[in-house]
Amino acid sequence: MKCCRGTWTPVSCLLMASCLLMALCRASPSGARDDPASGGRGERPTLRQRIKDRIQERLRGRRSAGAVSGDDSTPLPLEGDDIPRVPGTHRMSLQSGGRTRSFWLHLPTGYRPGERYPMVMVFHGGGGSGAQAQRSYRMNELADEKGFICVHPDGTGRFESWLLVWNVGFISSRHGGEVDDVAFVDELIGQLLTKVAADPGRVYATGMSNGAILSHHLAARLPHRFAAIAPVAGTIGGRSSADSPLFTCPRPDQPVPILMIQGMADLNIPFEGGLQQKSFPGTRPERIMVSQADSIAFWLDANQCLPDGVQSLSQDGNVIRTEYSDRLGRLSVVTVHIRDGGHSWPGGEASPLKVADPPSDRISANRVMWEFFQRYSR
């Protein structure tokens, strides 16, 4: 597994070392011999020990450079004093709701603790994880290019680091209503603002699918936390089955600018709403999704926007962008609809989860939302 693009984690390095050691043992039943130059007296370390020492040396070097900080089993506690101060991707944890919650903190190239950086919270889709989201959405690469902090939290589930879910009422993990993900994110942002060089007026949220739905809920319930949000392939709510209650976002008590990116051929979050036509492998689609039209209407009302938007088309006609402004002319709601787009993160990498579709190459979701985010601060 990779902790960030192109780097080995300590676990994978040690596994590779184990394979090398096993091969050496087979080649020499008594283990690695003393170097002949030492006279056979054991004055130099054995080959096995030298390999182990070299691996440990490389790992120490990577940690000091900020490329790796902790691994899947040993995240650094955010409540402690050992807070990363160097660029790179760091595995962290936070106590919330009686649980140890994990997340990935990416500090951009050139990070300096004395400055203030925008911070983007990125929420994985249902069945994914923070590690998977980093690989699939590639937001850390843009963070290094543009200079912002990027945070990939983990949801909860049967396993600690995969097949994770966000609790949005009609979708939840096996823990059900016991997990308050809105409270977790609120606590996480509050802690991060005191621990790293994040600008409290430039905190943004995005997410895919289940993570996109969470982004809607976060903006509605914590509008003071976010300068803007950009859900991808999401909706404001739905039902777990046809006879279940409807869960939707509460109306926020203040406007939150929002960019919504949605594929019009999405079968998981149907553009017109209604019954899912596609769901997680091995499960039968039963959830009822709120339509994009109703999601847009919700935010036009919440942000006090005029109903007539300004529409533009891409050169090939496959991308429809509509901008809505409030009565003072301030842009507040933007939709980007991709005619042939499925359930995916446009411009990202193909997900290993079969629940997602191949990513659209019509736009780069990352660049479109970053351009949008830069317009807003609190």
The pLDDT value recorded for residue 352 is 63
State the CB neighbour count (10 A cutoff) for residue 252: 18
Residue 45's alpha-carbon distances to 17, 22, 54, 193, in angstroms, are 16, 18, 12, 47
The pLDDT value recorded for residue 332 is 95
Match domain 75-373 to its CATH number in 3.40.50.11540, 1.25.40.10, 3.40.50.2000, 3.40.50.1820. 3.40.50.1820
At which residue do the structure tokens 């993160």 appear?
345
Whether this model's pTM surpasses 0.85: no
The structure tokens listed for 74 are 């040993």
Instruction: Give residue 3's Cα distance to chain centre.
Output: 13
CA-angle at 195, arms to 366 and 228, nearest 5°: 35
- Rounded-to-10 torsion of CA 244, 245, 249, 252: 180
Q: Report mean pLDDT in 10-residue bins for the chain, 378 residues.
A: 40 42 39 37 54 46 38 73 91 93 97 96 94 96 98 89 85 74 97 97 97 98 98 96 92 97 96 89 78 98 96 96 95 97 93 76 97 97
214 phi, psi to nearest 5 deg: -60, -40
The structure tokens listed for 349 are 């990498």
* 348: exposed, middle or buried (Cβ count in 10 Å: 0-12, 13-18, 19+): buried
Closest Cα to residue 134, out of 274, 144, 95? Answer: 144
Closest Cα to residue 371, out of 262, 263, 261, 215? Answer: 261
197 phi, psi to nearest 5 deg: -85, 55
Instruction: Give residue 363's Cα distance to chain centre.
Output: 19
* 117: exposed, middle or buried (Cβ count in 10 Å: 0-12, 13-18, 19+): buried
Instruction: Give the CA count within 13 Å in the CB-facing half-sphere of 47.
Output: 15
The pLDDT value recorded for residue 50 is 56
State the CB neighbour count (10 A cutoff) for residue 189: 20
The pLDDT value recorded for residue 67 is 38
The structure tokens listed for 152 are 């990939």
| Cβ atoms of 47 and 17 closer than 8 Å | no
Could you tell me the end-to-end alpha-carbon distance of the chain, in angstroms, rounded to an integer? 38
Helices (H) and strands (E) in the chain, counts: 8, 16
| Cβ atoms of 62 and 7 closer than 8 Å | yes
